[in-house]
Structure 1
Amino acid sequence: MALSLAGCGDNGGSGESDGGFTVGLLLPSRAVPRWEHSDKPLIEKRVKELCPDCRLEYANAENDAGNQRQQMNSMITKGVEVLIVDAADTKALRSSIQDARDEGVPVVSYDRLAEGPISSFVSFDGAQVGRLQGEALLTAMGDKADDGQIVMLNGDPASPNAAWYRDGAMSVLENKVKIGKSYTTLGWRAENAHDNMSAAISALGPQRIDGVLAANDTIATGVISALKSARVTPLPPVTGQDADLNAVRRIVKGEQYMTVYKPFTTEADSAAAMAIALGRGNDVGSITTTTVDNATDDDIPAVLLTPIAVTVDNIEETLVRDGVYTIDEICTPKLRPACDEAGLTP
């Protein structure tokens, strides 16, 4: 992958394609911290490295599919040469992606597989994300994994990744534990997760929940808040995803059992390399490693990256080693004793 990405720095081609052009970047929301804090700056940085004369036009949909359609159409009208799009609603954006194709603007589908004639796709293996969560939850439950009861808080059904994660988790959990309650979390919002978890506690009883499969760290935030509000002690193991800083701190404190680290730099690098290649009129075959099918097209060139499970035992060798966070960022003064116990020392 490193060799392939490096190769995209060449000004392959001729004529105007060798100069700078505008790359449009559309991200889905601010509810999940990673979009603004990780993906946007990483993509912007890599685009400039690969094409110093290129420009980045950015918009955030604020979880509104209609807003994202308008943003996309506006970028096409302004003359962007290529788009990187993480769809707020992968079905709702289909017509706009077709409009982009009709205007000769290739679309790189980022993180979520959009419908319509996309030119390429990059994400993490969602089934493996779910499997890592399910396996970690069973491990954390210990003896209760044999006959225990869990609550599942899945992601927003507007995102195909939500079903991808759920199916991966169920491949591990099915016939192992009882699913006491299962919910979808609209907008991946913590407040919606809080409401769903509160409903589960009321329905099942505060001492009859042995684990919680939370699809990501924002959902885990709402779950843990609801458990604390209901004075559930000890807290059952709770999963997560995205390695948000607050989630990592919760893991150190023992409030959240695990998260899934998806090295965003690699995902952003792949998306930027695809966009620059497509903007220059080149093929992405040297960048992609597999193909995927969406609801409208088959054999779409793709990169599916490998996620990593993170617990308190491997924070240093994953997130700290990769430069995602420093120990000082993770270990606030209040967390210093817990960090010392976990072996997280500067």
Structure 2
Amino acid sequence: MHRLRHALAALLLLLPLAACGGTDSGDSDKTTIALFLPESKTTRYEAFDKPLFEAKVKKLCPDCEVLYSNADQDAAKQQSQVESALTQGADVLVLDAVDAAAAAPLVNQAKQRNVPVIAYDRLISGISYEYYVSFDNVRVGEVQGKALLDEVTRRGKTGKVVMLNGSPTDPSSADYKKGAHQALDGKIDIGREYDTPDWSPDKAQQEMEEAVTSLGRDSIVGVYSANDGMASGAVAAMKRAGYPTLPPITGQDAELAAVQRILTGEQTMTVYLDIRAQAEKSAELAVALAKHEKPSTPTKVGDIPAFLLDPIAVDKDSIKDTIVKDGFYTVDQICTPEVAAACAEAGLK
């Protein structure tokens, strides 16, 4: 009887370990890397970030599984997705936060389970984690602002600029704005400035329509748009307003439609971010963390080890030597019948 009590006590001690071993996470030997992207209005996430990340993980770790979620710009949905991945036994989280200011509790939940976190594209503030992989976002804004100012100057126009900044819940937006102001302040008048919820092209169109109404069509000589999706909204608003020639407008992400607008003269430039490098570096770090390795980084943002990639300004003359050369898009993808003449003029054949 004495031996039986000892055996039962030992069995009871083992039960919590068995529960932690993965009754709710399926195969406990399977390494799972969870990737969380914030939205699908910006085409890069589904078209590039997700497949490039998954392919690199598969190459480095054929037995690893990628658990993918897109939050559709809903912070509550992303919270549920992260909690679900942790419950399923994810070994590493790669998180592009919908609301970076509200993401610290999600990182804390991961910490409590000893699950490492990589902040992808957007810096998460207020808590420490393993890595941050993004671009030099202040530099992005500087590149955009300088390109806008150069084109306004080249056209010999005087007047006001409208600024369409990104989502106020995305800390990258504040960096882009800071860089753009560094390039523009004191050199040109800023007539209207907006922080655009959700990076929404529709809301950017409404903002641009309001700016045209309040400032007057002829007084607007340039538009700073923080990304290509919002640039599409601004272009639509200006077309509706009857501009005979569209003023210079910036962008970011090198979306296919934006590249085509650059060729036809409706958009001045875009910032080409090497999303392949970003996604693949993040995948390398995630696999390393899953193997309990921690590679060194070239820099830090605050106390967070970071990899920051350089932005590349792309205009009509440089599409061939950047976007096409890197295989981001093929000439056939860009040069649809609607833009064939513009492609020929730019030397894309």
TM-score normalized by the length of structure 2: 0.90
Cα distance in 1 between the residues matched to 2:318 and 2:273? 14
Cα distance in 2 between the residues matched to 1:144 and 1:20? 59
Q: How does 1:1-346 map to 2 (within 5 A)?
A: 20-115=30-125, 116-142=127-153, 147-285=158-296, 288-293=297-302, 299-345=303-349
The number of aligned residues is 320
Contact 2:157 2:221 in 1 (8 A): no
Contact 2:147 2:269 in 1 (8 A): yes
* Counterpart residue type for residue 101 of structure 2: K
Secondary structure, counterpart of 1:312 in structure 2: coil
Secondary structure, counterpart of 1:191 in structure 2: helix
Secondary structure, counterpart of 1:207 in structure 2: helix
* Counterpart residue type for residue 268 of structure 1: A
TM-superposed CA distance for 1:276, in Å, is 0.8
Superposed CA RMSD: 1.2
1:110-153 superposed Cα distances (whole Å, 9 cap, x missing partner): 00001223210000000110011011101111256784310000
TM-superposed CA distance for 1:204, in Å, is 0.5
Q: Which residue of 2 aligns with 1:11?
A: none
Q: CA 1:145 to 1:161, structure 2 compared with 1: closer, same or farther past 3 Å?
A: farther
1:236-264 superposed Cα distances (whole Å, 9 cap, x missing partner): 00000000000000001100000000011
Secondary structure, counterpart of 2:219 in structure 1: coil
* Counterpart residue type for residue 272 of structure 1: A
Cα distance in 1 between the residues matched to 2:338 and 2:155? 32
Secondary structure, counterpart of 1:269 in structure 2: helix
Contact 1:59 1:71 in 2 (8 A): yes
Cα distance in 1 between the residues matched to 2:156 and 2:136? 25
Cα distance in 1 between the residues matched to 2:156 and 2:292? 53
* Counterpart residue type for residue 229 of structure 2: T
Q: CA 1:331 to 1:234, structure 2 compared with 1: closer, same or farther past 3 Å?
A: same
TM-superposed CA distance for 1:329, in Å, is 0.7
Identity of aligned residues (%): 45
Secondary structure, counterpart of 1:52 in structure 2: coil
Does 1 or 2 have the higher relative contact order (CA < 8 Å, sep 6+)? 1
**Which runs of structure 1 show a deviation greater than 6 angstroms over 4 or more consecutive aligned residues?**
none
Please list every run of 5 or more consecutive structure 2 residues that lacks an aligned counterpart in the other structure: 1-28
Cα distance in 1 between the residues matched to 2:267 and 2:172? 22
Cα distance in 2 between the residues matched to 1:318 and 1:190? 25
* Counterpart residue type for residue 105 of structure 2: S
Contact 1:153 1:214 in 2 (8 A): yes
1:55-105 superposed Cα distances (whole Å, 9 cap, x missing partner): 000110000011101100110010000010000000111111101011111
Q: CA 1:178 to 1:119, structure 2 compared with 1: closer, same or farther past 3 Å?
A: same
Q: Which has the larger radius of gyration?
A: 2
Q: Which residue of 2 aligns with 1:15?
A: none
Contact 1:146 1:176 in 2 (8 A): no
Contact 1:154 1:166 in 2 (8 A): yes
Cα distance in 1 between the residues matched to 2:37 and 2:335? 30
Secondary structure, counterpart of 1:317 in structure 2: helix
Secondary structure, counterpart of 1:152 in structure 2: strand
Secondary structure, counterpart of 1:232 in structure 2: coil
Secondary structure, counterpart of 1:179 in structure 2: strand
Cα distance in 1 between the residues matched to 2:157 and 2:310? 29
Cα distance in 2 between the residues matched to 1:100 and 1:135? 41
1:186-211 superposed Cα distances (whole Å, 9 cap, x missing partner): 00010000000000000001111000
Please list every run of 5 or more consecutive structure 1 residues that lacks an aligned counterpart in the other structure: 1-18, 294-298
Q: CA 1:146 to 1:224, structure 2 compared with 1: closer, same or farther past 3 Å?
A: closer
